[in-house]
Amino acid sequence: MKDQQVKLEMASRRRFLKGISAALGGLVVGAWLPPMAPKSAAAEAVAQGKASLGDSLADGFGAFVRVGHDGRVALISPKAEMGQGIQTGIAMMVAEELEVGLDQIDIQEAPPNAELYTDALLQFQATGGSTSTRYTWEPLRRAGATARMLLVRAAASVWETDSNLCHARDGKVFGPTGQKISYGDLVDLAATYALPDDVILKRPEDFHLIGTPATRLDTPTKVNGQAKFTIDLDMPGMLITSARACPVYGGKVRQVDDKAARRVPGVRDIVILEDVVAVTATNTWACFQGLKALNIEWDYGANSKIDSAVVDQKLQDAIQRDGVVATEKGAIDASLQAASSKFEAVYEQPFLSRSPLEPMSCVVHVRDDGCDLWVGTQVPGFAQQTAAAVTGLKPEQVKVHNQWIGGAFGRRLDFDFITQAVRIASKVSYPVKLTWSREEDMTHDLYRPQYADRMTAAVNGEGFPVGWQHRIAGGSIFARYVGSLPASGVDPDAVEVAVDPIYKLDSLKVHFIREEPEVVPVSWWRGVGVLRSTFAIECFVDELAHNAGKDPLSYRKTLLAHKPRVLTALDLLASKVAWDSPVPRGRGRGLAVGEVFGSIVVTMVELSAIGEKGVRIERLVTVVDCGLVTNPTSVKAQMEGGTLFGLSAALFNEIDIKGGQVQQENFHAYRQLRISEAPPVEVHIVPSAEAPGGVGEAGTALIGPALLNAVNATFGDRVRRLPLVRSGYFIA
């Protein structure tokens, strides 16, 4: 399964990449093609981590690891830190193999360089899709191990002994008679050696750091106010800017009366672009006041006629059609004809905003000879490309200084705000820091698509599905991000999981029915296609179990006999929650299981009914098998946070459109779970020696279906549309 999953991802990313070059074709040509371009042997070696230390010891350049004369290790992180703890995780991988302490490592942000920092799973330089640990696991450990081998060889040479008689520990090499030399003193000699061909990685049983609950490297400054995010940066001569884009997507500025805005103390310039008006000022408040004082006449355009009801109706119609067939296994039509019964249900999910707590922000300085961007981004290469396209500079003239990100959830996979910041900065002579208001941020997000899934199962005499037809309707993120769909006409992200469900089925047919909302751009979230498919499948299987009068856990186990790891996870959950013992009166338990992002997750929600529609979450338990764990603390934290992030959305969240405008402007209208409403999340990790899986989005994927299945178990009400509050329920 994992191989298949990775292959699918690779295939889809390859298509993705071809599309990306088409999408950027109008703006940028050539510079951003490396994953498909032939690599020099040297570049290949560096990317694999082989050359990193040798080059760094020579004079400073290594893809991932550079050891200094002072013995400190610079780790050039190919992954952005947005709270997932990845920079600590990869530091642990390097430190483990290099035999240094975590406190000897200094993390630097990787610059845009697709040749060196392309994520092999994503096929471009990006942080997302729960790939970071899966991708870095091999090359980063290899980088550390290579460095260690060269340093040991250097020490052996100094002592005129055999490398095999020496070993490394705590940043030093120790010899056979108790000699020791610090890494810093070996750097120059080690740099003269050719790279070893036979880099040997440690065996998991020899790990002393990987697998331990290491303290995060970035958190000490996050508890004393010293941590800097993009929004906190200050540069000499910098002014603040804030912008208002047309409230309707696709609309334009018709005319602007800026007389009142110019009178606001602190306001310097008004920048009028085709679809955006920006104010620059000496402080953020003056920017906001200046924007309020602008009298802008907009040409709203065609989208101003679209309301949520229009989007709804289009999806309702679309889901009744057949679409492009994403996969077909066995003969579903024959299965449906021969089945002793059929069952069909439609599941719906709304537009969602990412709304990280740090509003979109970007510092830009555009000069004749170059451009600097200081910005927290999941896609430094795209940041560079868009700045080059706007300014007419060459990509190599654009420097990207990546920053810690104050929450992303996919938001900073988009670079619309970077493009906007560079457009504004190009009109003024000074550096600017773009800071969006929350209202601008929420109404000019790009949104997780609204989707409908129609599932039709052929059910045998024992109540189990022989096969099913799964129709998926909605906008295509892939097409928006890349510029077009692959030639197949199938959005590879949208159908993920659906085309390879974990359950054993004789026949399966999946349709992708593209129905673009047009009214808002669609984009990534904390998991997209995986979440959507998992939601539909797990609600549907729960219904099938219910229809068959069978226990939903044992029903799933029957369909999962070919998945021993999944069965282990299910059994662990069953024992942790005493599944076989009866639930107290007025309570119900819901379950969901999935193989997502290379990990196996089982989530259980127990609810009690308070009156007719009051929901109290009594217990929330999740079991994860994510293979070999680097940092168990981070795995737990991601499962806790990811699950509650998904719970917030499943309970409350929906973006509405009226007159083409997003109606939710701030957190009073786009409600987030608060501490008083947040249940503890019990996380159990299955011990495993399998290859690492992703955990950033894994918890988010299972909570939605587990919640709705629990609602059914508690209230006898099969809700098929998110969010739950839409059906009249409330948190009691």
Partner 1 sequence: MLTLNVNGTTHQVDVPGDMPLLWVIRDILKLTGTKFGCGIAQCGACTVHMDGKPVRSCVLPVQSVAGQEITTIEGISEKPLARKVQRAWLDHEVAQCGYCQSGQIMSALALLNDQTSINDHAIDLAMAGNLCRCATYTRIREAIKDVSESVGVWQP
Q: Which is nearer to partner 1, 51 or 278 (CB)?
A: 278
Shortest reach from residue 647's CB to partner 1, in Å: 8
Using the rule CB under 8 A, give the single segment among 112-120, 416-424, 469-477, 667-675 that binds partner 1.
Answer: 667-675
Cβ atoms < 10 Å from Cβ of 14? 15
Shortest reach from residue 279's CB to partner 1, in Å: 14
Give yes or no for residue 701 binding partner 1 (CB under 8 A).
Answer: no
Find tokens 């979440």 and name the residue: 531
Shortest reach from residue 143's CB to partner 1, in Å: 26
Return the HEC string of 462-528: CCCEEEEEEEEEECCHHHHHHCCCCCCCCCCCCCCCCCCCCCCCCEEEEEEEECCCCCCCECCCCCC
Q: Token pair of 574, please?
A: 């069953």
Shortest reach from residue 637's CB to partner 1, in Å: 6
346 Cβ contact partners less than 8 Å away, ≥ 6 residues apart: 319, 452, 453, 454, 455, 720
Give yes or no for residue 407 binding partner 1 (CB under 8 A).
Answer: yes
Find tokens 């292959």 and name the residue: 7
Asked if 366 and 190 touch (Cβ cutoff 8 Å), the reply is: no
The residue within the footprint of partner 1, chosen from 7, 674, 728, 732 (CB under 8 A), is: 674
Site mask for partner 1 (CB under 8 A), range 366-405, x = bound: --------------------------------------xx
Three-state DSSP at 256 gives strand
686 Cβ contact partners less than 8 Å away, ≥ 6 residues apart: 565, 568, 569, 572, 600, 623, 624, 625
Find tokens 């040798």 and name the residue: 54
How distant is the alpha carbon of residue 356 from its chain centre? Answer: 13
The four Cα atoms 229, 234, 235, 236 give a dihedral, to 10 degrees, of -170
Shortest reach from residue 629's CB to partner 1, in Å: 15
Give yes or no for residue 83 binding partner 1 (CB under 8 A).
Answer: yes
435 Cβ contact partners less than 8 Å away, ≥ 6 residues apart: 231, 240, 241, 242, 284, 287, 359, 360, 361
**What residues numbered 354-373 form the site for partner 1, per CB under 8 A?**
355-359
Give yes or no for residue 525 binding partner 1 (CB under 8 A).
Answer: no
The residue within the footprint of partner 1, chosen from 586, 666, 716, 732 (CB under 8 A), is: 666
Q: Token pair of 308, please?
A: 């949520």
Using the rule CB under 8 A, give the single segment among 32-40, 100-108, 673-681, 685-693 that binds partner 1.
Answer: 673-681
Give yes or no for residue 732 binding partner 1 (CB under 8 A).
Answer: no
Q: Which is nearer to partner 1, 169 or 674 (CB)?
A: 674
CA 13 to CA 480: how far, in whole Å? 15
421 Cβ contact partners less than 8 Å away, ≥ 6 residues apart: 241, 362, 363, 364, 373, 375, 432, 434
Shortest reach from residue 474's CB to partner 1, in Å: 24
Shortest reach from residue 435's CB to partner 1, in Å: 7
CA 458 to CA 465: how far, in whole Å? 6
The residue within the footprint of partner 1, chosen from 347, 409, 512, 524 (CB under 8 A), is: 409
Q: Which ranges of 278-406 does DSSP label H, i.e. alpha helix?
A: 284-293, 308-318, 332-338, 380-391
Give yes or no for residue 675 binding partner 1 (CB under 8 A).
Answer: yes
Three-state DSSP at 328 gives strand
The count of residues interacting with partner 1 (CB under 8 A) is 63
Give yes or no for residue 292 binding partner 1 (CB under 8 A).
Answer: no
Shortest reach from residue 15's CB to partner 1, in Å: 31
Asked if 168 and 158 touch (Cβ cutoff 8 Å), the reply is: no
Shortest reach from residue 291's CB to partner 1, in Å: 12
Q: Which is nearer to partner 1, 85 or 449 (CB)?
A: 85
**What residues numbered 263-282 form the site for partner 1, per CB under 8 A?**
265, 282
Using the rule CB under 8 A, give the single segment among 168-176, 228-236, 366-374, 567-575 that binds partner 1.
Answer: 228-236
Cβ atoms < 10 Å from Cβ of 125? 26
Give yes or no for residue 237 binding partner 1 (CB under 8 A).
Answer: no
Q: Token pair of 51, please?
A: 């050359």
The residue within the footprint of partner 1, chosen from 48, 426, 484, 672 (CB under 8 A), is: 672
CA 570 to CA 545: how far, in whole Å? 16
Shortest reach from residue 102's CB to partner 1, in Å: 14
The backbone torsions φ and ψ at residue 469, rounded to the nearest 5 degrees and listed phi first, read: -110, 130
Find tokens 């089945």 and name the residue: 339
Strands of the sheet with 167-169, listed across from one edge: 167-169, 172-174, 180-182
Using the rule CB under 8 A, give the single segment among 171-179, 194-202, 509-517, 670-678 that binds partner 1.
Answer: 670-678
Using the rule CB under 8 A, give the single segment among 109-117, 298-306, 349-357, 453-461 that binds partner 1.
Answer: 349-357
The residue within the footprint of partner 1, chosen from 106, 115, 185, 232 (CB under 8 A), is: 232
Give yes or no for residue 632 binding partner 1 (CB under 8 A).
Answer: no
Q: Which is nearer to partner 1, 33 or 107 (CB)?
A: 107
CA 216 to CA 598: how far, in whole Å? 23
Give yes or no for residue 689 binding partner 1 (CB under 8 A).
Answer: no
The backbone torsions φ and ψ at residue 54, rounded to the nearest 5 degrees and listed phi first, read: -55, -50
Q: Which is nearer to partner 1, 406 or 594 (CB)?
A: 406
The residue within the footprint of partner 1, chosen from 28, 120, 227, 339 (CB under 8 A), is: 227
Q: Which is nearer to partner 1, 40 or 221 (CB)?
A: 221
Q: Which is nearer to partner 1, 343 or 404 (CB)?
A: 404
Q: Token pair of 607, please?
A: 């609810």
Count Cβ atoms within 10 A of the Cβ of residue 39 and give its class: 0-12 exposed, 13-18 middle, 19 or more buried: middle
Q: Which is nearer to partner 1, 183 or 404 (CB)?
A: 404
Give yes or no for residue 236 binding partner 1 (CB under 8 A).
Answer: no
Give yes or no for residue 410 binding partner 1 (CB under 8 A).
Answer: no
The residue within the footprint of partner 1, chosen from 371, 379, 681, 719 (CB under 8 A), is: 681
Q: Which is nearer to partner 1, 512 or 670 (CB)?
A: 670
Give yes or no for residue 352 binding partner 1 (CB under 8 A).
Answer: no
The residue within the footprint of partner 1, chosen from 645, 652, 715, 729 (CB under 8 A), is: 645
Asked if 431 and 393 touch (Cβ cutoff 8 Å), the reply is: no
Give yes or no for residue 511 binding partner 1 (CB under 8 A).
Answer: no
**What residues numbered 193-222 form the site for partner 1, per CB under 8 A?**
215-216, 218-220, 222
CA 70 to CA 183: how far, in whole Å? 8
Residue 389: closest CA among 20, 31, 629? 31
Give yes or no for residue 26 binding partner 1 (CB under 8 A).
Answer: no
Shortest reach from residue 266's CB to partner 1, in Å: 8
Asked if 709 and 538 touch (Cβ cutoff 8 Å), the reply is: yes
Shortest reach from residue 286's CB to partner 1, in Å: 8
Shortest reach from residue 644's CB to partner 1, in Å: 3
Give yes or no for residue 82 binding partner 1 (CB under 8 A).
Answer: yes
134 Cβ contact partners less than 8 Å away, ≥ 6 residues apart: 121, 598, 691, 692, 693, 694
Shortest reach from residue 706's CB to partner 1, in Å: 16
Give yes or no for residue 52 binding partner 1 (CB under 8 A).
Answer: no
Interacting residues with partner 1 (CB under 8 A): 82-85, 215-216, 218-220, 222-229, 231-232, 234, 240, 265, 282-285, 288, 355-359, 404-409, 435, 437-439, 633-634, 637, 640-641, 643-645, 647-648, 666-668, 672-676, 678, 680-681
